[in-house]
Structures are given as C-alpha cells and as structure tokens.
Amino acid sequence: MGINIAVPYNVTEEAATEEEAVRKIGYIGRAAAIFRVKNVYIYMFKGSEEPRRALFIKKNLEYLVTPPYLRKDLFGIDPDLRLAGLLQPLNLPVFGHRKGNVRVHEVRVGLVVRWDGYYSIVKIGEEAYVKVPKPYPVKSLVAVSIDSVIDGRFYRGHVVKNTSVYIGYTVSIVKLGELVRMGNLILTGKEGKSIVSVMNELRSLINKSGDTTVVFGSPRMGVDEILKGEGLGDVLERSLFVNFIPNQGLVTVRTEEAIVAVLSILNVIKQMTTLTL
C-alpha cells in the first residue's frame, strides 16, 4: 500500500534558468521523501522523444536520495549534476548521523563493494563497513541493520527487506502508456471532481492491495489534456480524477506545490484509515 508519484518529463519547462530547474527538482524530491513516496515516475508523452530533460530530472532526484557517503562511489563527474549543490539535503534516518557514529540496531543504506569469500562488504559511511554473511551483487544498494561492532571500521549486520524505516524513493522513466496500465491511479487537476465528493473513493483506493500512483500534470498542460492528446482519454473515465485544491486562490498551482498539497491530504487519509482498521 505504498504511494508513488508521477510527474511529466517537462515539469521544469517554465524554469528560467538551470539553477531554478534544479531547485524545483529539489522541492519535488523533498516532498516525496517527507511523505515516504516509494517510487517517482517521470513520464514521457508526445514531443518527448528526446529524453534529455527526463534524464536530467532523474539524475538529480537520484543524487538527492543517495547517502552523501556514497555519492562519489555512484556518481562520476556529470554536467547534469554540476548544480546538485543547490539541492536541499534530505537527511534521511538511513543516512546515519555524524561521521563514525554507527549505532547497533540502526538501519543504513549501503553499497556492496566486494565479496571476500565469506561476507559481502557493504559501505555504510565514510570508512565504515558492514560484513553481511550472504553474497549480494557488487555495486548494488541494500538496507542493512547493524548487529554488532567488530572494530572502529567494521560491523556485523544483515540485509533487511521490509523495514518501517523509510529508505527513500526510486526513480524511473516510463512512457505514459505504461503508467496508465499500472492500476490504482489517482489523476490530479482542477478539472477533476472536488476532493470533498470523493473522500470515500480515495479511502477505498488507498486500502487496496498494491501501490497507489498519483499523476500530476505539466506547467502548461493538465493531466486530462495530456491523456486526451495521447488518445488515452478513456483513462479519465475509469480512474479517479480529483481536484485536491478546490477554490484555489491562484490561476495555476505549480507542480511542486500540488505535490505537497496532495500528499498531505493522502497522508491524513491513510493515517485515519489505519486507525480505524
């Protein structure tokens, strides 16, 4: 029952400068992390044959959600990341605390750096490594729970698949046609039904098995316009199309603002649903 968000490849098209575009991406990433989003989809549609913009967004979102101690290992010198310093840090719990302060029982995101014949060696900090007694693919990211201390640099631990600790989002580029086949969609836009009238439907959808994916429009085109332009207007009829900000005070709401508004509401609905189960 995770929450995913989907934004168009041209979500930054109205940014006047690359600096402004990076900041906008940072706002989207922070909103996703605040509300524990599982997957961020960047969707392509007509006119988006050139994936340059989508790749730019993907790289910066992935850089943002990567622990600082792993960024040099995972990202080389890349012109698309030259302004990544403008991204506001996430400070996820799995990034750990200050250097060298690894605590038993905490969960960290780490990078498998090698297999020594007995253990997978997982980097979980600057000069901090966990020995995990199973082989995992080198260069893969894993969530590791710390079991015990070996010495000042090495620890014993195990990989955790399911944890209540939020470990961040993943980022994928998808075609719009693929996105609408995922099911459990919530389409957003001011042309949709007022949230006041669809609260029960939202609650039921969030309670369904599987993830719920919330789809946002672009700065110049709403989700409904994009779908109709792709010959996918029928998706509007079989999915929840919701206006989450009825009686909005502005002519347009920016995508990053809409994400915060929508995820805030869905978070409350999800928490209230959990309490009544």
pLDDT score for 27? 98
pLDDT tops 60 at residue 163: yes
Q: Which domain holds residue 146?
A: 93-159
**Segment 150-163 mean pLDDT:** 91
Instruction: Return all residues near 203 (Cβ < 8 A) that are at least 6 apart.
Output: 269, 273
Instruction: Determine the Cα–Cα distance for residues 183 and 186; give it in Å rounded to an integer.
Output: 9
Q: How far is CA 104 from CA 82, 100, 120, 146, in A?
A: 36, 12, 18, 5
Q: What is the pLDDT of residues 37-70, one digit of tens each?
A: 999 999 999 866 568 899 999 999 999 999 999 9
Confidence category of residue 92, pLDDT binned at 50, 70, 90: very high
Mean pLDDT, rounded, for 201-216 = 90
Same domain, 134 and 260: no
Q: Is 177 in the same domain as 242?
A: yes
62 and 180 in a common domain: yes
Total Cβ atoms within 10 A of residue 274: 11
* Tokens (6 digits) for 248: 């909005």
**Which residues, in sequence order, are CB contacts of 13 under 8 Å at separation 6+?**
53, 218, 219, 220
The CA angle 248-254-255, to the nearest 5 degrees, is 115
Q: What is the CATH number of the domain that holds 126?
A: 2.40.50.140
Distance from C-alpha of 94 to C-alpha of 103, rounded to nearest angstrom: 11
Q: What does the pLDDT look like over 109-120, one tens digit per residue?
A: 999 999 999 999
| pLDDT recorded at residue 50 | 62
Query: Taking 70 as the threshold, does the pLDDT of residue 238 lie above it?
Result: yes
Question: Is residue 178 domain-shared with residue 62, that is, in the same domain?
Answer: yes
When pLDDT is averaged across residues 241-251 and rounded to a whole number, the result is: 92
Average pLDDT over residues 155-167: 92
77 and 211 inside one domain: yes
What's the pLDDT at 48?
60
pLDDT reported for residue 140:
95
| Mean model confidence pLDDT for the chain | 92
Mean pLDDT over residues 233-260, rounded?
A: 93
Per the DSSP assignment, residues forming a β-bridge with 194 are 243
Boundary residue ending a domain (159, 177, 209): 159
- Residue 178 tokens, joined: 């693929």
pLDDT of residue 57: 97
pLDDT at 97: 62
